[in-house]
Every structure is written in structure tokens, then in C-alpha cells.
Amino acid sequence: PELLASLSPPPPGPAVAFVLRLAHALHRHGTPAHRLEGLMQRVCERLGLEARFFSTPTSIFASFGRAEELRTSLIRVEPGDTDLERLILLDLLADDVIQGRITPSQGALDVEAILARPPRYGPAVQLLCWMLAGGAAAILFGGGWKEMGVAGFSSLSIGLVDLFTRKQPTTARVLEPVAAVLSAAFAGLAAHFLGPLHVEVATLAGLIVLLPGLTLTIAVNEVATRNLISGTSRLTHAALVFLQLGFGVALGSRVATVLPPMPVGPLPTVLPPGTAVAALVVAGFAIAVLFRARPRDWGWIALAGAAAFGGARLGTLLLGPQLGAFVGALLLGIGSNALARLRNRPSVTTVVPGLMLLVPGSVGFRSLASLLERDVVAGVDTAFSMLLVAVALATGLLSANAIMPPRKVL
């Protein structure tokens, strides 16, 4: 039997090459472990391959053949940014190969062509959206015009740092602490020279793009779907990013302490409710561009974000913050799955941007700020609230998949 197993023909080369390149491309652009493994399994079943997949945030194991004659490939992957347009193109390419419209050999070449496509949005547009995201977040967090301006300027500066360090791995790894230092320092200087403002709101809104709330939510979702190693790794990464941001904020906040004290005046008044609606629209546009969504999807993304945010606010008023997050995620998941079934497109197009308006990153940041101020009771209580919100979001998405099953895995 061992001799026969060693002489058995290997799996089809072009089909395996296509599957491996597709898995690598999907992982690079932000596909969670449970979705990646499910999609790869479905593609292999349609291509007549017997395969097994195991995905972690930094690697993919793929084995082909029967259990007694496996041929295993290890793909080392650096976690990348979410690119919604490329995810849609890769999903359409997988459909074309499965349905026989193109061969696996051509599909493998098309995967490389998709990865080689130039970015849809240039640096100027991305920097503009960094600034808009920070300013809109300041309004959604209850700040005023001063907080909006300071947060927008801080976020723009962080975007410039990200742009210059993106191609240098050694410097890109310190982006989070450097960004936190800049945001806290700008907020403290603005409070000193421009008059009283909510320093915490301005600091937090300036860091909104880097807060790992989405990573935390995906990690809880992976753990809930029994992808324990990948989920635990993401949880550890999210905790490390929170610690880096907290260290940077603690360091940057010391800048204002070396300046002479200024007379304390009244804090600015809260803006009228209509500005929150405008901020929500602007935030949806900025998130769509930062996640590299296609312009034709902007309207659906804005609608999904408004439904998620409105459902979460209504649920919070009626049921509390944790159950409110569950309501928002449930509405987002059901609406996204229904839209995906009608358009025959992946639901991730609207789920990921919509989650950005619900993720508990700000709660986790406040928890860390309380711990740095040695208020242990408040810090632990807020951290527990952050975990409850993340669990509520994951439960809402899983419940939505049960109520309205998606047609596609992505």
C-alpha cells in the first residue's frame, strides 16, 4: 500500500496553483480565517480536489490528496489591509473558474493580474479621507468644532506618516505609538493655545483609523466559529496595539505639561443633532475609500452604515449598550446578506465598512486610559464592557447568517 500511495498521481497542477494563489491573495486583503477556509473548501470541491486548509493571521497550510498521501504547502503571509474591490474581483474570478468559463491556468494568471492592479485611489484622496474620518469621528463622539478640527489635523498627520512608512517594514511597525504621540500632543497643544476643548475626544478621534476594534471583532468571530488559533492570535495583536496606543498617548500628553498653565474656561457646547447625520455620511464615504471600495458601492456602504449605526443607537436606548451593539450588527448582517443575494456579490462589501461604525475600539482605548491613570476599577470595568460589545457584534453577525443565509462565503 505504501508503494501504491507513493506512485499515485499528484493532484492536477494548474488547479492546485490557482487555489494556492487565490488563497494567498484573499488572505493578503483581509479575509478572516473562517471565510477563507470555507471559500477555499468550496472552490476545491467544485474543481474536484480533495483538500484541507488551515489559516492563521500569518500563514496558510494547504494539503491536497487523501489523508495517507497528503501533499502540503505552507504559505507565509504578512497581514495586509482590507481591499474590498480586489476581494470582489477575486470572488468573481473564482466563480468564472468554478463554472468553467476560464481554465485554472488562466485563473492563476488573472489572480496575479488583480494583485498587480494599481490602487484605485491616489495618496491625495486617501489623505483627505484620513482627515475626514478623524473629523467625523470627533462629532460622533460628542465633540464640537474645535475637536473636529484638531482630530482632522491629527488624523491627516498620521496618514502622512503611514504613507511614508508603508514601504519600510522596520518603521511601519512603530506607526501606532508614533501616531498616538502625535494625536495626544496635538490635542494638548490645541487645548493650550486654542482654548478649552475635550482633549480625550480629540485624541481618540484622531486615532480612529488605527483603533483595532475591527480586529477585535473579527477575532471574537473567529473564536466563535471554532477557529481558535487564528482568533487567539488576533486577540493578542489587538491587545498589543491597544497597549502601544496607550503608551503613545501617555507620552504625548506630557507635551502640554511643560507649557505654562492657561486660564480654564467653559468647554464648548455640543453641536446640534443634525451635524451627527452629516458626520455619519462623511464617515461612510471616508471608510469606503480607506477600504478601497468601488465608487458604485459607496451608496450601499453608506446605507449599511446608517442602518447599523441607527440600529445600535436605538438598541442602546431600549436595551443598553451591549444589546444595542447586537441589534446594530444583526440589522447590518441581515441587510448585507439580503443585498448580497440580490446582487450576487460578497456581503463583505457592506459588512466590513458597517462594522467600523460599531466596533468597540473607543471603549478599549478609554479602558487603557483609565488603567494608565491608575484607576484600576474603572479600567477593568470598561475593558469588560469592550469585550461584551465585541461578543455582541459577533453574535449579531452569526445570528444574521442564520436568519438570512448568505449565498457566498465572502
Diameter of the chain by CA atoms?
87
- Write out the DSSP string of 85-151: HHHHHHHHHHHHHHTTSS-HHHHHHHHHHHHTSPPSS-HHHHHHHHHHHHHHHHHHTT--HHHHHHH
Q: Which of 154, 186, 166, 174 is nearest to 245 (CA)?
A: 174
The reported pLDDT for the residue numbered 410 is 67
Tell me the pLDDT band of 273, cut-offs 50, 70 and 90.
Answer: low
Compare 371 and 56 and report the one with higher pLDDT: 56
pLDDT at 364 over 70: no
395: left (phi over 0), alpha (psi -120 to 50) or beta: alpha
Q: How far is CA 391 from CA 30, 37, 231, 322, in A?
A: 20, 22, 13, 9
Per-residue pLDDT band at 352 (split at 50, 70, 90): confident
Please say if the pLDDT value at position 393 is more than 50: yes
In this prediction the pTM is 0.83
Task: Say how far residue 91 (Cα) sits from the centre of its chain.
Answer: 19
Q: Between 139 and 256, where is the model more confident?
A: 139
Higher pLDDT, 8 or 154: 154
Range among 106-115, 159-168, 267-276, 347-356 with highest mean pLDDT value? 106-115
**What pLDDT is attached to residue 5?**
46
Counting every residue written for the chain, the total comes to 410
Query: Phi and psi of 54, rounded to 5°?
Result: -140, 115
- Residue 378 confidence (pLDDT): 58
CA distances in angstroms from 98 to 29, 55, 237, 353, listed in the order given: 21, 22, 35, 28
- Over the stretch 373-388, which tens digit does the pLDDT of each residue have? 555 555 556 666 777 7
Confidence of residue 6 (pLDDT cuts 50, 70, 90): very low
- What percent of the chain has a predicted confidence (pLDDT) above 70? 86
The predicted structure's pLDDT at residue 278: 83
- The residue extents of the domains of the chain are 12-116, 123-403
What pLDDT digit, counting tens, does each position of 91-111 carry?
A: 888 888 888 888 888 888 999
- Taking the C-alpha atoms of residue 159 and residue 250, their distance in angstroms, rounded to an integer, is 21
Q: Taking 50 as the threshold, does the pLDDT of residue 7 lie above it?
A: no
Q: pLDDT tens digits for 187-235?
A: 888 887 877 788 888 888 888 888 877 787 788 888 888 888 888 888 8
Poorest-pLDDT segment among 247-251, 273-277, 304-308: 273-277
Which alpha helices (DSSP H) does 225-266 contain, by range?
A: 228-252
Residue 282 one-letter amino acid: V
Indicate the pLDDT class of residue 128, thresholds 50, 70 and 90: very high
Task: Return mean pLDDT, the chain.
Answer: 80
